[in-house]
Amino acid sequence: MTPANGQPRNAISTAARQVVEWAGSAWAAAAAVALAVLWLLGGLLGGFTEHWIYILHAVTSVFTFIMVFFVQHTTGRESRAIMLKLDELVRATSGARDELIAAEQRPLHEQEQIEHRVRSRG
């Protein structure tokens, strides 16, 4: 059970963000290239056996699978923050349409109706 203050959830979210930031760094790219070269050398020396290929596929699949969730979490978090900021700007701007606040949470047909009204306005 998660405490009311959400500390475990925040810790996981912070860790995910740090993983994504590190994975997008120049150091991570250099490490990936180095590992690829080492893996290729191992294949050249070992003869590219079926076992070698199975391990390659398994390792890359697992890392890809995990990174998809890390990236999706971080992207969702950043998108949510941007939407909150935009909603605040709409609230603070005189003459802005309040119906645009949280438009991303409305059904697609409502979003299309709002878009049509906004575009026809000006």
pLDDT at 121: 78
- Three-class secondary structure assignment of 29-56: HHHHHHHHHHHHHHHHHHCCCHHHHHHH
Q: Give the whole-angstrom CA distance, residue 21 versus residue 74.
A: 9
The terminus-to-terminus CA distance of the chain in angstroms comes to 51
With tokens 């923050």, the residue in question is 81
pLDDT at 105: 92
Name residues whose C-beta falls within 8 Å of residue 104's C-beta, 6 or more positions apart in sequence. Answer: 83, 111
Are 23 and 70 spatial neighbours (Cβ–Cβ below 8 Å)? yes
pLDDT at 2: 47
pTM of whole model > 0.85?
no
Are 90 and 33 spatial neighbours (Cβ–Cβ below 8 Å)? no
Query: Where are the chain's structural domains?
Result: 7-121
**pLDDT tens track of the chain, all 122 residues?**
445 567 888 999 899 999 999 999 999 999 999 999 999 999 999 888 999 899 999 999 999 999 999 999 999 999 999 999 999 999 999 988 888 889 989 999 999 998 998 889 76
